[in-house]
Chains A and B, each alone.
Chain A
Amino acid sequence: MIDIGLDILSWILLTLGGACVLIGGIGGLRLPNFYTRIHAASLTDTMATLLIFAGMMLQAGLSLPTLKLLAIMLFLLLTGPTATYALANAALLSGLKPDAETVTDNDKGHAG
């Protein structure tokens, strides 16, 4: 009984995680400028990581893989947002303005 419950819970978590990954990916492609895209990327960096790894940890039970999964999750949650922060900081310092009007729609024609 508990096993089935755990299975269902982990499936729900995994599905939600997959959905988050997809939403973040689509957002990263569709949103209009760099700073909004960072916002989408942060969704896949944190929420999706949490959900997917939680789902897998439930599947693995109490074992060495769970410990490794926990370590991977913690490191991802630490490094992902840090890297995004560093990137946003670099962009801001180098003069890319978070101004919706000037940057919107510049992904037309600049391809390649």
Chain B
Amino acid sequence: MIFVFALFLLTLLVITALAIVHTENLFVAVMLTSIFSLLMAANFFILDAADVALTEAAVGAGVTTVIFLSALALTGEREKPRVGGRNIALVTVGILALLIIYATFDKPRLGDPNAPVHQHVAPWYLEKTPEYMGFPNVVTAVLSSFRGYDTLGEVFVVFAACIGVLFILGVRPPRESLEPRDESSGLRHHLIPQVVGRLLVPFIVLFGLYVQFHGEYGPGGGFQAGAIIATGVILYALLEGEAEALRAVPRSVLLGMVIGGAMLFGSVGVVCMLMGGAFLDYSVLAADPVWGQQLGILIIEAGVGMAVCGALLSIFHAFAARESLS
């Protein structure tokens, strides 16, 4: 039954993707992208990948739509008509699709216990996580300890992406025009969204903190928490206007979060080395190796959360500042 559901959702996913490519109105494309993200999360969820689904939910539901719309406000709403090159693209995509379909013939069935991926290190992770870490969520253990190097790399990718966007879009914060812009900024005149939104902001941030600190036991962790908290602040910015949000969480704090988060992650690794272990080997952080692992994971997850939250908000503000300049 689950299999049928997953197949059905995948079909919808393909239809949505085709529609996104087909439409020339970019606003419609953004709306369809948001449906695509919802479908994707449902799909992940049905396949039991709750952590990934939560990431998709946290990033796809709020942040991407907001950032896409900000980008749309800077550009036009219609896609530029394409000239030529269509046939080459079609042939390339066709060949690639055929190759991929051919490759799927060798793929093991979904959930086959004899699949290579289930034979390699996965059983070891499943077996050793409770013993080494003392908590049940294997995904968090793999992400932040067993494969800590990868996650460190990801955090620096987020860091680099943030720096890149700020380089391209970053404008000097307009100091003179810091007085609140015309009343039209934000949704201050819409009473009902205002009241409900204000009520929601603290709950969103609280939920983000829950995801952050409950990641060892349930789905969640630093990435998801950072995105959720960023969404909470973005909601505040939508309600009260962007300047008000910047007053609550200034630019310097955001940059500090991005840099500090990445630094925190890296420095935990260095501290591990100083205390006689390998880089990012948290066992040496406390007398009891299990406690050491838990402490290390707690700190690096906090670093990841800070970096993601700061990066997403910096990007959001970069777009918004551009918008108010133009």
Contact = CB atoms under 8 A, between A and B. Distances in A.
A and B directly contacting (CB within 8 A): yes
Interface of A: 75, 78-79, 82, 85-86, 89, 112
Contacts of B203: 75
B98 interface: no
Interface in B132-187: 187
A74 B196 CA distance: 12
B4 interface: no
A14 B92 CA distance: 49
Contacts of B287: none
Contacts of A78: 196, 199-200
B199 A85 contact: no
20 contacts: A75-B200, A75-B203, A78-B196, A78-B199, A78-B200, A79-B196, A79-B200, A82-B192, A82-B193, A82-B196, A82-B197, A85-B192, A85-B193, A86-B187, A86-B190, A86-B192, A86-B193, A89-B190, A112-B22, A112-B23
Nearest to A90: B190
A78 B195 CA distance: 10
Chain B binding surface, main DSSP class: helix
Interface string B108-148: 00000000000000000000000000000000000000000
Contacts of B190: 86, 89
Q: Which bracket fits the contact residues of B?
A: 10 to 19
Contacts of A86: 187, 190, 192-193
Contacts of A79: 196, 200
A82 B199 CA distance: 12
User: Which are the 6 A-B pairs with shortest beta-carbon distances?
Assistant: A82-B196, A86-B193, A85-B192, A78-B196, A82-B193, A82-B192
Contacts of B200: 75, 78-79
B270 to A, nearest CB: 39
Contacts of A85: 192-193
A85 B194 CA distance: 12
A102 B319 CA distance: 38
B167 to A, nearest CB: 34
A46 to B, nearest CB: 14
A78 B198 CA distance: 12
A79 B203 CA distance: 13
Contacts of A112: 22-23
A78 B197 CA distance: 9
